[in-house]
Amino acid sequence: MVIFSLLLAALALLVALFYFFRYQKIKNQLSKLFVMEYAMNHAQNPLYFVDPKSAAIFYVNKAACKALGYTYEELTSRTIFDIDPNITKELWQEHNKNLKMAQTSDFFTQHKRKDGTLFEVEVFGNVFEYEGKFFNIAFAVDVTQKNHYQKALQESHDALTLRNQELEELAMLDALTKIPNRRFLDETYAKRFDEHRREDVSLALLMIDVDDFKTYNDFYGHAKGDEVLIQIAQTLQKTLKRPTDFIARYGGEEFVVVLKEISLSGVLTLAEQLIIAIKILQIPHEKSKRLPYITISIGISHKDATTLIDKKTLLENSDKALYQAKAKGKNCSVLYEKTLLQ
């Protein structure tokens, strides 16, 4: 009898231990499930569990309810078609077919709130299988703020680019006359010289100097002289009509005009037009040795694509021609020739 009682007690202990350990296992599993549900429910981005066949939503987290303005009960009684106006049944079937093949998906769409307003989202989808059934799980990230930030960033970048261009342009302008400066001349003249040889066209330079400008400054003052340089520079620039022609301040009261693809007769005609344009201004110059108003002298150099001189020599030739124009009495233009000043 005693032995039977001991056996019965031992059996009861074993049963108790079995259920204790099973309880502990279930408790641990439930604890893990609670942790997982807590983590999902407190995730920052909306989370959706969806039936791939019916598109019915059977689980959402708090972030999804907050994003769409529904309660949990309201949202889990709806389908994907209720919250995504871009998804049709055909698209949903195609999406799930592709999702099963790739296991993941990433796409942009729109979600509709309970109040009918739309917002842009990026959806990250996954598919998983449980007990022979497939389920979709998806995170939806609101990209409205992201797009706003990117737009603001792009606008800032564009503004900075524009400002840099403006600064670069300012660096290429003469501070006084607001026409291209010597730096611009050096860079652009080099380009034009290469172009005229590559394109097999002519190139011409006009070296321009304001006559008796030192005596003008001495008599009228440097401030008045600066005003005259501004007026002359702007007038000369306006006289140039072709978009490829440009003028730059060479230094002091000297200017250089670069002309590509122009005939010799065209160059001579333009030089005369520039001289006349300055005459028309009738800027008084009481100390001028020739006329009682401001005039200019021009030295011209011209070459076709086959003439074997470099860009430095061409510039020097226009300077020599300008010297000859001064020697001839100023207020005129002279074309450089091989015999000139030799």
Residues designated catalytic? 253
Distance CA 22, CA 30 (A): 12
C-alpha dihedral (329, 334, 337, 340), degrees to nearest 10 = 20
In the chain, which ranges are E strands?
47-50, 57-60, 104-112, 118-130, 133-142, 203-210, 246-251, 254-260, 296-303, 333-335
Distance CA 206, CA 185 (A): 12
HSE-CB at 255 with a 13 A cutoff on CA atoms is 27
Sign of CA dihedral 61, 62, 67, 73: positive
For every residue of 57-97, DSSP letters joined together read EEEE-HHHHHHHT--HHHHTTSBHHHH-TT--HHHHHHHHH
* CB environment 114-127: b (16+ within 10 A), e (fewer): eeeeeeebebebeb
Paired tokens of 209? 């100097």
Contact between 109 and 81 under an 8 Å Cβ cutoff? The reply is no
